[in-house]
């Protein structure tokens, strides 16, 4: 692993990484996040009965849109021609919140990790927005890269215990 930050030049100025000479390859990233909430809010969201309508559908769509707009919000991300974005939101095992997953794919010269993490982050924020009238204490946590494949650095699978 390089000791140098790739988005800085030798003088420490930020720059967008040059990817022009890199070959196009299939890229895939899977990210996750979690949102916990009080039981009444959880039941309402789970049952599609939130104060603003079906929060799960809105959050999944928001996650897809966010992945597509990542380069507009993260200054040094390259705009990418995404080939697939899938966002899924499921109740967690103890019924206190939701696990959010996003899978993003493209055929490109740079990875889609940021797009996947953007998707789960915005999906979680959308759930918060949709249910905040029921519970202002909701907590968004565990935004993380779970897997990635493609590119020079190879494949990565997060240790489930980390």
Catalytic residue status for 129: yes
Residues 47 and 39 sit within 8 Å (Cβ to Cβ): no
Q: Buried b vs exposed e over 72-88: b needs ≥16 C-beta within 10 Å?
A: eeeeebeebebeebbbe
CA Rg, the chain, in Å?
17
Residue in 129, 155, 159, 161 annotated catalytic: 129
Count of Cβ atoms closer than 10 Å to residue 110 Cβ: 18
In whole angstroms, what is the distance from residue 36 CA to residue 129 CA?
13
Residues belonging to the active site: 129
């Amino acid at each position: 692993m390089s000791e140098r930050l790739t988005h800085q030049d030798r003088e420490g100025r930020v720059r967008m990484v040059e990817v022009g000479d890199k070959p196009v390859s299939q890229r895939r990233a899977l990210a996750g996040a979690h949102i916990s909430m009080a039981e009444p809010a959880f039941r309402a969201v789970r049952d599609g009965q939130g104060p603003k309508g079906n929060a799960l559908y809105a959050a999944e769509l928001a996650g897809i849109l966010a992945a597509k707009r990542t380069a507009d919000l993260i200054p040094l991300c390259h705009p990418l021609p995404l080939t697939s974005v899938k966002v899924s939101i499921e109740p967690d095992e103890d019924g206190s919140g939701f696990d959010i997953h996003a899978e993003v794919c493209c055929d490109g010269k740079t990875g889609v990790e940021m797009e996947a993490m953007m998707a789960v982050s915005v999906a979680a924020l959308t759930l918060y927005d949709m249910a905040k009238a029921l519970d202002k204490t909701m907590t968004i946590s565990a935004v993380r890269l779970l897997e990635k494949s493609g590119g020079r650095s190879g494949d990565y699978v997060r240790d489930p215990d980390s």
